[in-house]
């Protein structure tokens, strides 16, 4: 039995794993889907002070207070930043890291650097225009821009998508633990997206890395919503 700890991406919440969770549990595994501070059902906690470090502490708290061990730690999109930092601090609790169309930062990198100056400037402009300079509304159209097109899924997701703290995109990750750097990792690339998407460089680099497994899904970015059975199957393969 594995312990799956699933970490959502920007503008989402733990709710986004709703279709994947029962599939993993039906196979006999434990699953936890925490929501990061300021997002989802914790949107009332969004403030100027929320950073990447806040979100790392969210997950560290879950690990420590629930005493989770032998964890398959999964991060979607921005969640890749979070799980990288968490694994650096709690490598002894991890068995595998899974990056689902996610950022894979190196020491000192922030989302703002990884997305490039044009996209980073767009995030800052959105925060100035509609978020008092510190919170970033999801770039429209959502959730369609993430590959979600069925009417039922769009209706379900749209009211649950919330603003994301700008500082979480700007704060770099700090990595110091060589043990974490040796953990088994898998990168799952969602291929049904416009050419040149921001996760393509990670896919190109990691498909040839010896310690990485590489998988693809013919979906848009939010595969856990549009292809939950395929996502669950890949996670169960790791377990």
Q: What pLDDT is recorded for position 239?
A: 81
Nearest to 102 by CA among 198, 214, 226: 198
Across the chain, what does the average pLDDT equal? 97
- Which residues are known to be catalytic? 77
Domain count, the chain: 1
Q: CA 30 to CA 120: how far, in whole Å?
A: 37
Whether 238 has a pLDDT exceeding 90, the answer reads no
Both tokens of residue 196?
């040149």
CA distance 50 to 118: 23
Q: What pLDDT, on the 0 to 100 scale, is given for residue 31?
A: 98
Predicted model pTM: 0.98
The DSSP annotation for 169-220 comes to: HHSPP----TTGGGS-EEEEEE-SS-TT-TTHHHHHHHTT-TTEEEEEESS-
Each residue's pLDDT tens digit, 136-193: 999 889 999 999 999 999 999 999 999 999 999 999 999 999 999 999 999 999 999 9
Over the stretch 77-110, which tens digit does the pLDDT of each residue have? 999 999 999 999 999 999 999 999 999 999 999 9
So what's the pLDDT on residue 172?
98
Q: Output the pLDDT for position 17.
A: 98
Give the integer Cα–Cα distance in Å for 113 and 226.
29
pLDDT over 90 (residue 194): no
How long a stretch of residues is the chain? 239
Q: pLDDT for 10-20, tens place per residue?
A: 999 999 999 99
Domain that residue 133 falls in: 3-238
Give the CATH number for residue 117. Answer: 3.40.50.1820
- Token pair recorded at residue 188: 């799952």
Encode pLDDT of 109-130 as tens digits.
Answer: 999 999 999 999 999 999 999 9
Task: Please check the confidence at residue 76 and state whether its pLDDT lies above 80.
Answer: yes
**203-226: pLDDT as tens digits:** 999 999 988 999 999 999 999 999
The first and second tokens of residue 126, run together, are 């959105």
Q: What is the pLDDT of residues 37-71, one digit of tens each?
A: 999 999 999 999 999 999 999 999 999 999 999 99
> For residues 152 and 195, is the Cβ–Cβ distance under 8 A?
no
């Amino acid at each position: 039995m594995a312990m799956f700890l699933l970490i959502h991406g920007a503008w989402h919440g733990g709710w986004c794993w709703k279709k994947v969770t029962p599939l993993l549990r039906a196979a006999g595994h434990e699953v936890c889907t925490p929501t990061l501070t300021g997002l989802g059902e914790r949107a009332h906690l969004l403030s100027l002070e929320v950073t990447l470090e806040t979100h790392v502490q969210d997950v560290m708290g879950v690990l420590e207070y629930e005493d989770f061990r032998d964890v398959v730690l999964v991060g979607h999109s921005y969640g890749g930043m979070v799980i990288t930092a968490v694994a650096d601090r709690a490598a002894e609790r991890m068995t595998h890291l899974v990056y689902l169309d996610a950022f894979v930062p190196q020491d000192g990198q922030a989302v703002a650097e990884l997305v490039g100056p044009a996209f980073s400037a767009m995030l800052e402009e959105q925060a100035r225009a509609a978020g008092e300079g510190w919170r970033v509304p999801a770039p429209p159209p959502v959730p369609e821009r993430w590959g979600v097109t069925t009417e039922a899924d769009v209706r379900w997701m749209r009211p649950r998508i919330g603003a994301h703290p700008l500082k979480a995109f700007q704060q770099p990750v700090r990595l110091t633990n060589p043990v974490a750097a040796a953990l088994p990792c898998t990168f799952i690339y969602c291929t049904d997206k416009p050419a040149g998407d921001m996760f393509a460089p990670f896919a190109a680099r990691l498909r040839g890395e010896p310690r990485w497994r590489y998988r693809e899904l013919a979906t848009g970015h939010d595969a856990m919503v549009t292809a939950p059975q395929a996502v669950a199957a890949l996670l169960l393969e790791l377990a």
